[in-house]
Amino acid sequence: MAEPLPLPALVDQHCHGVLRDDLSDERFESLLTESDAPAAPGTGFFDTQLGFAVRRWCPPLLGLYPHCSPGRYLARRRELGAGEVNRRLLRAAGIGVFLVDTGLPGELTTPWELATAAGGTGHEIVRLERLAEDVAGRLSDPGSFGTAVRRAVDEAARTAVGFKSIAAYRCGLDLDPTPPTEAEVRAAAVRWSDSQNSQNSRDGQDSRDTVRRLTDPVLVRHLLWCAARTGLPLQLHTGFGDPDLTLHRSDPLLLTDFVRAVRPTGCTLVLLHCYPYHRGAAYLAHAFPHVYADVGLSLGYTGVRAQAVLAEFLELAPFGKLLFSTDAHGLAELYLVGVRLFRRALGALLSRWVAQGDWSRRDAERVAVLIAADNARRVYGLGPGSAAIG
Amino acid sequence: MAEPLPLPALVDQHCHGVLRDDLSDERFESLLTESDAPAAPGTGFFDTQLGFAVRRWCPPLLGLYPHCSPGRYLARRRELGAGEVNRRLLRAAGIGVFLVDTGLPGELTTPWELATAAGGTGHEIVRLERLAEDVAGRLSDPGSFGTAVRRAVDEAARTAVGFKSIAAYRCGLDLDPTPPTEAEVRAAAVRWSDSQNSQNSRDGQDSRDTVRRLTDPVLVRHLLWCAARTGLPLQLHTGFGDPDLTLHRSDPLLLTDFVRAVRPTGCTLVLLHCYPYHRGAAYLAHAFPHVYADVGLSLGYTGVRAQAVLAEFLELAPFGKLLFSTDAHGLAELYLVGVRLFRRALGALLSRWVAQGDWSRRDAERVAVLIAADNARRVYGLGPGSAAIG
Amino acid sequence: MAEPLPLPALVDQHCHGVLRDDLSDERFESLLTESDAPAAPGTGFFDTQLGFAVRRWCPPLLGLYPHCSPGRYLARRRELGAGEVNRRLLRAAGIGVFLVDTGLPGELTTPWELATAAGGTGHEIVRLERLAEDVAGRLSDPGSFGTAVRRAVDEAARTAVGFKSIAAYRCGLDLDPTPPTEAEVRAAAVRWSDSQNSQNSRDGQDSRDTVRRLTDPVLVRHLLWCAARTGLPLQLHTGFGDPDLTLHRSDPLLLTDFVRAVRPTGCTLVLLHCYPYHRGAAYLAHAFPHVYADVGLSLGYTGVRAQAVLAEFLELAPFGKLLFSTDAHGLAELYLVGVRLFRRALGALLSRWVAQGDWSRRDAERVAVLIAADNARRVYGLGPGSAAIG
């Protein structure tokens, strides 16, 4: 199979906005890592698989040679301006549909802006913890939080195509799988409000001015169950992320009892990222009809190793259960790199399997389209795709 | 090493019977997955590595092209009839010895039938939990369960070549490693019987008519220790399986304290399946003289990736400690696929290592025979093998 | 990139002395495994990836063909004598700097002897648990243990280049991350001393004659914090080792809270071995500026699979955060094999990535030097290296 696998316009089932402004070298580099601190003395974040992949794929779109130095690349980026760079990289990526988690802080492009820059369409994924914190910030009576948040989730379900939870960051995935009672939710909401007020009075601030970080497991469970009951797909952060998270408490397998408990609601669960627990995530997608797995972040961050990681997803995961994404955030570079690495990894793997006679070419083409776009279209009810652009 | 590695007739150290009847399309497909439910809307169980491997290897034996459609394959299978298909696939597999776990429900072929169809010999592996449930069903005094089950295990040891436990399914592998006292066993057996009786009186049934699922960890431990004391090898389910099981509670490393505790009995432990914890299983086989690891299910279910998974087993596991199996169940296809994937994976790996100069050809041939047959012959005391058929 | 990657003289950042005496066949074989017992009946420790790697790389330096039989190799080894064999193998390895953990029992060569035999330089890594046991053996008042051990650690820091802890062996890595209070240390030290005395009076021995194995988690934590506060790098055993250790309690991710707690001290943590949790270790090195990962033991023991394992380290670990070592112990063969496997694995991986266009040759050469030597030079403050010898 010398000729490349034709792929349709991709559906990026999990991503974020990009920054509109020109970036300092330090700011750019900080967006190449999940770390929360400057690089260790004598090291730099460009010296990673992701950094090398950016230098491999992006310079040609800015009129530079692949692998040019970080300094040269960043200078040229500023010369062209962030707007022009974002347009070039997003257009080149070839993504047709963006499902955008809008819950990140910062001045990021909206789904509509992203889609316009890229020539595609955009939809919103609502981040539950952000939604709940917004609701709490507007309430005077914490006792009504449970009902208010449920209404807000139901309201969001009218326009969003799915929800996302970062429970892994807030309390770990080893949580009680059952829905909390109304009384438990009320008590937890009052506890949260009280701790917030006492914190604020120590700081001399009004409670509604401050960000209220929701970490109580009872409230997180309430959110998950509110979302599950809407019938929309629920994305769950699993696996690696920034150092706020304790990795072994983000193993997707810790969700097994929640997966079982939520099954009767008919809700679909999409396990995000998963690495290095992606074989366990693929197992859950194999064993449970309502579980899917996302290959996003895991491919971007592992760069030249994306093929090896994708191959491990493809051991147990049924081919109708894997979903492409970039998890791009802040830098348009992450869109381009996410797409290039995915297309090359998938193409190389499937081509080899066809060449060896293990798969038919027809099956390989069909599976590639499923993972690139059609599984996401089916799961999120997006309707049929546009013509192939690969 | 252009010429393939010669392999002896294989010893399949862990398998089950096949179904004798013609199967509906739905029934066939349900035997291609560990899931307990129909495939998710828009997906199917043929769209998996195992499904693709079946379509790669089996159609030629039914007079069809490789990779023909599932519909065509299933129609031809019915045309020939299950008996003829089973014979063709089993003969082609080239297995000389079958160690059959006879503890699965359903109308499956016996070890003798299997061996006859395949032209080999069969032996029985007794599943402890099934044995214990049968014993309990015949007892009027639950207080005598401990002794009765020990006698049944000792009796079974006279004809079986080994035991198997599915403790992973029943209570997880993070169990107390020590043998329970007689009093603990008695109390647990009475508790189990009482809960069974109260369940039955709610259902209006007689207690001896119903299946009694043994899940009490005290009783499971009693079973493990009864088996260990017979001196026969004890197979333990570890790693993935159907959704009844919680995968991270089936990590073979959770058995470490049991491995230590049981060491003085002289019992041999064979860790089954292991995936995705096969590197941990290989470590246990490396660190403890009485621990072995099985590559079965993990190769069949990962299809074209079998080579990659087998290579990971071969990192820490001593070459005298790995055992081939198919874990075939229900479908004769799983025998053929298990064998083909194993032979190709092992042949490709060892050939490459010889070609690179890392292994000698002589060593590679010797190791291949160990894993394919001789390790199992030694562990189960099966006597020397027949002539090479590879 | 047909020509091999030039590598500088290597810095072996974690190793041990070798035995000076001629060895029986049994003794030699026992040093090829982490197991604590003779090989299982019908198997042998030469039948492992490490055993095959020894037979691949070492015989030519003793004037034999690669892959000669173990018997022939061992006979030739005795013929030449251990001194001559050690010199030949150590010289051939091409290690310029040895950081030697001197805390292992047995008649092993000192850092100075090692370095002299190899034509390099040696430095000491002090093993905390051994240091503490020595201190305790000399104390009459256990209440002063906390202060005495802190002084001993500070004293050792004047000449050593780093510390090492085997907390994984002694209490597992799932330990309380905070420093114990002085009162807690005092109480734990008295407890330890009392249990030791009662043990000794049962055995009829004087307490200062016997080895006092430190396993109390409070005392282990005290050691870790004493070392962290010196500002020297602290090596931590993680991942596989001998059967004394429970592998899943040695997952480096269990250290996450300790990593966070120790961060303000400015201490550098080096995670040793890591396998099979090396992807998690690489994540910690990615997420936290003060965490590094070592590829040692994991490459030696996996032999021909070293390339695959190293590639997994190279997914998330920043290239400035990975460190070469051999973890050689007892046998000079382990130095040679560790070096050969590392050079081939790294060379093959990076060459392929350059050939595919994913990395530039310049970057590949730079990263190779970082992992082989310069990261260790920077972390341990060793000063610039000597000329390239690759």
pLDDT digits (tens, 9 = 90+) for C91-131: 999 999 999 999 988 889 999 999 998 889 999 999 999 99
Size of interface B-C (CB pairs under 8 A): 97
Question: What is residue A210's three-state secondary structure?
Answer: coil
Closest to C85 in 3D by CA, of C120, C122, C54, C47:
C54
C297 vs C285 pLDDT, higher one: C285
- Please enumerate in sequence order all residues whose Cβ is within 8 A of that of C252, keeping only pairs 6 or more positions apart, or say none: C173, C236, C238, C239, C271, C274, C277, C280, C281, C284
Residue B154 main-chain phi, psi, to 5 deg: -60, -40
- Is A37 contained in some domain? no
Whether A62 is covered by a domain: the verdict is no
Structural domain contains residue B359: yes
Confidence of residue C361 (pLDDT cuts 50, 70, 90): very high
- pLDDT band at B20, cuts 50/70/90? very high
Residues A364, A353: contact at Cβ < 8 Å?
yes
* Interval C154-181 mean pLDDT: 97
Q: Is the pLDDT of residue B323 over 80?
A: yes
pLDDT class of B387 with cuts at 50, 70, 90: very low
Mean pLDDT of C238-266: 96
Would residue A48 count as lying in a domain? Answer: no
CB-closest option in B254, B279, B360 to C67? B360
Record: contact A248-C260, CB cut-off 8 A? no
- Chain B residues with CB under 8 Å of a chain A CB are 33-45, 47-49, 52-53, 56, 66-67, 240, 242-243, 246-248, 275-276, 301-305, 308-309
Q: pLDDT tens, B214-256?
A: 999 999 999 999 999 999 999 999 999 999 999 999 999 999 9
The pLDDT value recorded for residue A177 is 97
Tell me what pLDDT residue B2 has. 47
Tell whether the model's pLDDT for residue A2 goes beyond 50.
no
Could you tell me which residues of chain B have a Cβ less than 8 Å from any Cβ in chain C?
Answer: 251, 253-254, 256-257, 260, 279-280, 283-284, 286-290, 311-312, 314-316, 318-321, 353, 356-360, 362-363, 367, 370, 378
Tell me the residue range of the domain where C229 lies: 10-22+81-380
Residue C205 has pLDDT above 80, yes or no: no
Domain assignment present for residue C49? The answer is: no
Mean pLDDT of all residues belonging to chain C: 93
Question: Is C372 in contact with C346 (CB distance < 8 Å)?
Answer: yes
Q: Which residue has the tokens 């790996």?
A: B349
For A150, the 3-state DSSP assignment is helix
Q: How far apart are CA C18 and CA C4, in angstroms?
A: 30
Question: Using N-to-C axis directions, what is the helix angle for C128-138 and C182-203, rounded to 10°?
Answer: 70
| Per-residue model confidence (pLDDT) at position B211 | 47
- Nearest-Cα distance to chain C for A95, in Å, is 22
For B352, name the nearest residue in chain C, comparing CA atoms only: C304
Parallel/antiparallel/unpaired status of strands B121-127 and A269-273: unpaired
pLDDT in tens, A91-129: 999 999 999 999 988 889 999 999 998 889 999 999 999
Tell whether the model's pLDDT for residue A387 goes beyond 80: no
Does C54 map to a domain? Answer: no
CB C39 within 8 A of CB B320: yes
Strand order through the sheet with A10-15: A10-15, A95-101, A121-127, A162-165, A234-238, A269-273, A291-294, A322-323
Asked whether the beta carbons of residue A357 and residue B56 sit closer than 8 angstroms, the reply is yes
**Stretch C170-176: mean pLDDT, rounded?**
95
**Which of B256, B233, B41 minimizes the C-alpha distance to B125?**
B233
Q: What is the pLDDT of residue B256?
A: 98
State pLDDT tens for residues C48-61.
Answer: 999 999 999 999 99
Beta strands in chain C (DSSP E): 10-15, 95-101, 121-127, 162-165, 234-238, 269-273, 291-294, 322-323
Q: Which of C251, C305, C309 to mutate: most B Cβ within 10 Å?
A: C305
pLDDT tens figures, A311-321:
999 999 999 99
- Sign of the CA dihedral running B343, B349, B352, B356: negative
B40 part of a folded domain: no
With an 8 Å Cβ cutoff, are C360 and A309 in contact? no
Tens-place pLDDT, residues B177-204: 999 999 999 999 999 999 888 777 777 7
pLDDT tens per residue across span B354-379: 999 999 999 999 999 999 999 999 99
List the one residue out of C282, C219, C217, C232 whose CA is nearest residue C252: C282
pLDDT score, position B3: 60
Per-residue pLDDT reduced to its tens digit, B127-164: 999 999 999 999 999 999 999 999 999 999 999 999 99
Q: Is the pLDDT of residue B210 over 70?
A: no
* Residue B48: per-residue pLDDT: 98
| Mean pLDDT confidence for C298-305 | 95
Confidence of residue C387 (pLDDT cuts 50, 70, 90): very low
Instruction: Report the C-alpha gap between C365 and C323 in whole angstroms.
Output: 15
CATH number, residue C190? 3.20.20.140
Could you tell me the pLDDT band of residue C389, with boundaries at 50, 70 and 90?
Answer: very low
Measure the CA angle with vertex A28, ends A22 and A30; round to 5°.
Answer: 145
In a domain, B304, yes or no: yes
What was the pLDDT predicted at C219? Answer: 97
% chain B with pLDDT above 90:
87
Domain count, chain A: 1
Is the confidence at residue C390, as pLDDT, over 60? no
pLDDT (0 to 100) of residue A1: 42
Task: Determine the average pLDDT of the residues in A203-208.
Answer: 62
Mutate to test the interface with A, among B302, B307, B309 (most CBs of A within 10 A): B302
For A10-48, what is each residue's pLDDT tens digit?
999 999 999 999 999 999 999 999 898 999 999 999 999
- DSSP class of residue A90 equals H
Q: Round the average pLDDT of chain B to a whole number and report it.
A: 93
